[in-house]
């Protein structure tokens, strides 16, 4: 006669023996302490490659960086954490909506995620233990230091780390002392029929603003044809204090232009007008792509029209 109860008991015991090691392994894996660190390499003036790596042994990571990235600068902060789930996933969420003027941060891949199972094999597969980002500073426009947050989720505890960079020094040709002595035309200067501005009368700023508005009207249809990335442009314009929060939410090119023109009407001095136009163009350039092309074309036409109609050098930077 079959001892069914005994067989059931034996099968249950065998199942427990088979499953227990897996459970223990998951618990051990979930209890491992990991280390995260950011480092960066300067590729050229105003361009860095920023890398965030996660490993189990910090010294192994430092040795890897020393061998493979000898010119890299290590970050000052080191993060310690555990994964929230067995065989977990770390997700890096880049916050770029409030970037300082003139700065751009682009992830080299999306989504930016790192898996515990691949991190454990570092340095055999270093690319799967790191997420990299390209950081750009626009010369002459990026004046404030970059402080870009990255939220780390899927770990315990969740963290926020920051990309901190200082803007590059201006080349001599763009330094304030050079530009103020050779290019900037103040409201106390006048117009010469042969060599542009000369210091004997006063520039009519209202005429300058009239030319700016006329050129903008001629570009109106082309600007309105830009339909994608309006939210990115809105963020750049808002960060430059060119539009209000309400206008930002509309994501409307027409309202962006209207707000720009409204603020322009209140500018009383030529340097204020130049700064206002520079911020507007720089916001487009920061979005890149067709927006940058549109900004360059608009800026070139502003410069040419003001020189031709008023004999005045309009001091804005349109280098993409």
CATH code at position 158: 2.60.40.2660
Tell me whether residue 241 is in a domain.
yes
Tell me whether residue 181 is in a domain.
no
Q: Are residues 159 and 273 in the same domain?
A: no
Q: Is the peptide bond before 227 cis (omega within 30 degrees of 0)?
A: no
Per-residue model confidence (pLDDT) at position 8: 44
Q: Are residues 39 and 150 in the same domain?
A: yes
Tell me whether residue 305 is in a domain.
yes
Tell me whether residue 144 is in a domain.
yes
Residue that terminates a domain, selected from 165, 200, 227: 165
Per-residue model confidence (pLDDT) at position 187: 41
CB 92 within 8 A of CB 112: yes
Q: Is the peptide bond before 13 cis (omega within 30 degrees of 0)?
A: no
Q: Is the peptide bond before 157 cis (omega within 30 degrees of 0)?
A: yes
Tell me whether residue 204 is in a domain.
yes
Among 297, 261, 258, CA closest to 281: 297
Cα–Cα distances (Å) from 55 to 78, 123, 150, 152, in that order, read 11, 9, 18, 15
Q: Is 20 helix (H, G, I), strand (E, B) or coil?
A: helix
Cα end-to-end distance, the chain, whole Å:
88
- What are the DSSP E strand ranges found in the chain? 34-44, 47-55, 73-83, 89-94, 103-107, 112-115, 130-137, 146-153, 155-156, 159-165, 190-192, 196-198
Give the total number of structural domains in the chain.
2
Tell me whether residue 317 is in a domain.
no
Q: Are residues 113 and 146 in the same domain?
A: yes
Give backbone dihedrals phi and psi of 54, rounded to 5 degrees, phi first.
-125, 130
What is the domain range of residue 154? 32-165
Per-residue model confidence (pLDDT) at position 297: 93
Q: Are residues 106 and 212 in the same domain?
A: no
Tell me whether residue 182 is in a domain.
no
Q: Are residues 237 and 305 in the same domain?
A: yes
Residue that terminates a domain, selected from 116, 150, 165: 165
Q: Are residues 56 and 112 in the same domain?
A: yes
Q: Is 184 helix (H, G, I), strand (E, B) or coil?
A: coil
Q: Are residues 39 and 92 in the same domain?
A: yes
Residue that terminates a domain, selected from 131, 165, 199: 165
Among 75, 76, 109, CA closest to 94: 109
Q: Is 230 helix (H, G, I), strand (E, B) or coil?
A: helix
Q: Are residues 99 and 205 in the same domain?
A: no
Tell me whether residue 130 is in a domain.
yes
Q: Are residues 156 and 241 in the same domain?
A: no
Q: Are residues 161 and 201 in the same domain?
A: no
CB 135 within 8 A of CB 50: yes
Cα–Cα distances (Å) from 70 to 51, 65, 117, 150, in that order, read 14, 6, 27, 25
Burial of 290 by CB count in 10 Å (0-12 exposed, 13-18 middle, 19+ buried)? middle
Q: Are residues 111 and 206 in the same domain?
A: no
Q: Is 299 helix (H, G, I), strand (E, B) or coil?
A: helix
Among 144, 143, 261, 163, CA closest to 212: 261
Q: Are residues 68 and 123 in the same domain?
A: yes
Per-residue pLDDT of the chain in tens (320 residues, 90 and over written 9) = 445 444 544 444 444 434 444 544 444 456 789 999 999 999 888 899 999 999 999 999 999 999 988 999 998 789 999 999 988 999 999 988 889 998 999 998 889 999 999 998 887 777 789 999 999 998 888 889 999 999 999 999 999 999 999 998 765 544 444 433 333 334 433 333 333 443 334 678 999 999 999 999 989 888 989 988 899 999 999 999 999 989 999 999 999 999 999 999 999 899 999 999 999 999 999 999 999 999 999 999 999 999 888 888 898 988 75
């Amino acid at each position: 006669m079959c001892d069914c109860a005994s067989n059931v008991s034996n099968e249950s015991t065998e199942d427990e023996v088979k499953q227990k090691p897996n459970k223990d392994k998951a618990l051990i894996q979930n209890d491992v302490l990991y280390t995260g660190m950011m480092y960066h390499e300067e590729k050229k003036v105003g361009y860095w490659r920023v890398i965030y790596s996660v490993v189990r042994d910090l010294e192994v990571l430092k040795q890897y960086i020393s061998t493979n990235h000898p010119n890299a600068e290590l970050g000052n902060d080191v993060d310690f954490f555990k994964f929230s789930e067995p065989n977990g996933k770390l997700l890096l969420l880049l916050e770029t909506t409030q970037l300082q003027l003139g700065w751009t941060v682009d992830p080299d891949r999306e989504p930016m995620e790192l898996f515990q199972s691949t991190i454990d094999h570092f340095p055999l597969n270093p690319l799967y233990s790191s997420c990299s980002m390209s950081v750009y500073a626009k010369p002459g426009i990026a004046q404030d230091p970059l402080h870009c947050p990255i939220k780390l989720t899927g770990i315990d505890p969740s963290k926020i780390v920051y990309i901190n960079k200082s803007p590059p020094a201006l080349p001599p040709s763009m330094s304030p002392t050079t530009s103020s002595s050779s290019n900037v035309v103040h409201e106390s200067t006048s117009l010469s029929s042969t060599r542009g501005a000369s210091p004997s009368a006063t520039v009519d700023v209202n005429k300058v603003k009239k030319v700016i508005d006329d050129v903008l009207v001629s570009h109106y249809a082309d600007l309105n044809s830009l339909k994608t990335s309006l939210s990115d442009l809105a963020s750049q314009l808002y960060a430059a204090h060119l539009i209000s929060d309400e206008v930002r939410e509309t994501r409307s090119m027409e309202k962006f232009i209207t707000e720009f023109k409204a603020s322009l009407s209140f500018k009383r001095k030529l340097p204020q007008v130049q700064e206002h136009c520079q911020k507007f163009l720089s916001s487009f350039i920061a979005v890149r792509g067709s927006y940058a092309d549109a900004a360059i074309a608009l800026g070139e036409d502003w410069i040419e029209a003001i020189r031709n109609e008023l004999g005045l050098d309009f001091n804005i930077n349109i280098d993409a």
